[in-house]
Amino acid sequence: MEILFFGGADTVVILYVTRLAAPAGAALNLIVACRGSVMAVAVSDRARSVARFLATDLPLGLKNLFLPAFCRNCGVRILTEENLYFCDDCWSKIELVEDPKCPRCGRPHSARVGFDAVYNFVCSECAAQKLRITNTYAAGIHADTLRDAIHLLKFGRKSHVARPLGRLLIERALPGMDAGSYDLLIAVPLHRNRQRERGYNQSELIAEQVGDAFPNADIKIALRRVKDTPSFSMLGARERKKLIKKAFRTLPGVDVRKKRVLLVDDVVTTGATTNECARVLRRAGAERVDVLTVAVAKRLS
Ligand SMILES: [Zn+2]
Ligand SMILES: [Zn+2]
């Protein structure tokens, strides 16, 4: 006899396997327990849905039994592969970008400023800068589960995390966009040293995930990062801006003239990197550059 456990946020499912002497051979009994206390034996809806899940996706069901996965954020057992390393509960708590927000940097206005706002106005930080970006579209705020997921994609060698992040962009950012208006999808490039180390460019993977949602756009590798800048995480806006200057070039043979470009990035913090990419693309003749990013950093004030 073997008892195996797997479960979601508030339900633990126990698959109770017995070998009976009866001619039927192995018998499976599903017992559903809610927060530890046994509620029903193979009669509840939850038990039926788990049984259905096991029947429709047996390989995944078996993988879950023998190679248990736990949520990176809260530690509960994960039953589906929808969000890979995160449970549905944590994924659904990702802080999303809501209106009113600044169209330039994509960040929501603080509650204090945005309380009475009925439209998306340009924030004072963006208004004070010479920006080459017209609009930034972001799915969520760079915090908690979303930050952990992006971290896994960038530093944990988990390239397939691009899949749920791409899905999040399509669900959350795409509805506010004119998807048919773009000619090119261009990922923010990594320096070749960084890309060699990582094995891929996470922004390219995200661009591939969302590519089909932009019916008139080609995915192009159009920019090269010529300056290997140190990690930006500890730097302020002014230092980032200085370091990123002249860090990008357009690749020879790529024509961006009169093209409407959607620049794809994983995280936009101060916008220095995307704005510098946009500057280079606009100088090469691009008509307009918008940004699509999985996450934006929270406004400090
Ligand atoms: Zn969780
Ligand atoms: Zn702004």
119 located within any domain? no
> Which residues form the domain of 63?
2-67
- Supply the pTM of this predicted model: 0.78
Shared domain for 261 and 157, answered yes or no, is yes
271 located within any domain? yes
> Residue 47 CA to chain centroid, in angstroms?
31
Residue 68 — pLDDT band, cuts 50, 70, 90? confident
User: Nearest ligand, CA of residue 92?
Assistant: 1
Shared domain for 251 and 158, answered yes or no, is yes
83 located within any domain? no
For 82-143, the DSSP string reads TTTTS-HHHHHT--B--SSB-TTT-PBPPHHHHSS--S-PPPHHHHTS----S-EEEEEESS
Give the Å distance between the CA of 186 and the centre of ligand 2. 22
116 located within any domain? no
Q: Are strands 260-268 and 37-41 parallel, antiparallel or unpaired?
A: unpaired
* pLDDT for position 60: 63
Side chain identity at residue 115, one-letter code = F
Shared domain for 144 and 291, answered yes or no, is yes
Domains: count for the chain? 2
User: Nearest ligand, CA of residue 126?
Assistant: 2
Residue 118 — pLDDT band, cuts 50, 70, 90? low
User: Nearest ligand, CA of residue 131?
Assistant: 2
Find the helix packing angle between 272-283 and 237-244, rounded to 10°.
Answer: 30
Shared domain for 160 and 55, answered yes or no, is no
Shared domain for 51 and 137, answered yes or no, is no
Does residue 38 or residue 251 have the better pLDDT?
251
Q: Is the pLDDT of residue 151 over 80?
A: yes
Tens digit of pLDDT for each residue in 179-194? 999 999 999 999 999 9
Give the Å distance between the CA of 122 and the centre of ligand 2. 5
Shared domain for 198 and 273, answered yes or no, is yes
> The tokens of 289 are what?
């550059």
204 located within any domain? yes
Q: What's the burial of 79, exposed, middle or buried (CB within 10 Å: 0-12/13-18/19+)?
A: buried
Average pLDDT for the chain: 81
Interval 15-32 mean pLDDT? 38
Tens digit of pLDDT for each residue in 56-65? 556 666 666 6
Q: Which residue has the tokens 């993977």?
A: 205
Give the Å distance between the CA of 160 and the centre of ligand 1. 18
Shared domain for 142 and 249, answered yes or no, is yes
> Residue 110 CA to chain centroid, in angstroms?
23
What b/e string do you get for 16-44 counting C-beta neighbours within 10 Å, with b at 16 or more? beeeeeeeeeeeeebbbbeeeeeeeeeeb
Q: Is 170 left (phi over 0), alpha (psi -120 to 50) or beta?
A: alpha
Give the Å distance between the CA of 107 and the centre of ligand 2. 6
In the chain, which ranges are E strands?
2-7, 11-19, 26-34, 37-41, 69-70, 77-78, 136-141, 184-187, 218-220, 223-225, 248-250, 260-268, 288-296
CATH number for the domain that contains residue 197: 3.40.50
CA–CA distance, 51 with 4 (Å, rounded to integer): 14
Question: Omega into 164 within 30° of 0, i.e. cis?
Answer: no
> The tokens of 176 are what?
């506010």
Tens digit of pLDDT for each residue in 200-244? 999 999 999 999 999 999 999 999 999 887 766 667 777 777 888
* pLDDT for position 262: 98
* pLDDT for position 240: 77
Nearest to 203 by CA among 294, 154, 248, 264: 264
Residue 26 — pLDDT band, cuts 50, 70, 90? very low
Tens digit of pLDDT for each residue in 237-294? 777 778 888 899 999 988 999 999 999 999 998 899 999 999 999 999 999 999 999 9
* pLDDT for position 82: 79
Do 84 and 72 contact (CB within 8 A), yes or no?
A: no
Interval 33-48 mean pLDDT? 41
Nearest to 134 by CA among 284, 294, 279: 279
Phi, psi of 244 (to 5 degrees): -80, -15
User: Nearest ligand, CA of residue 76?
Assistant: 1
Do 287 and 95 contact (CB within 8 A), yes or no?
A: no
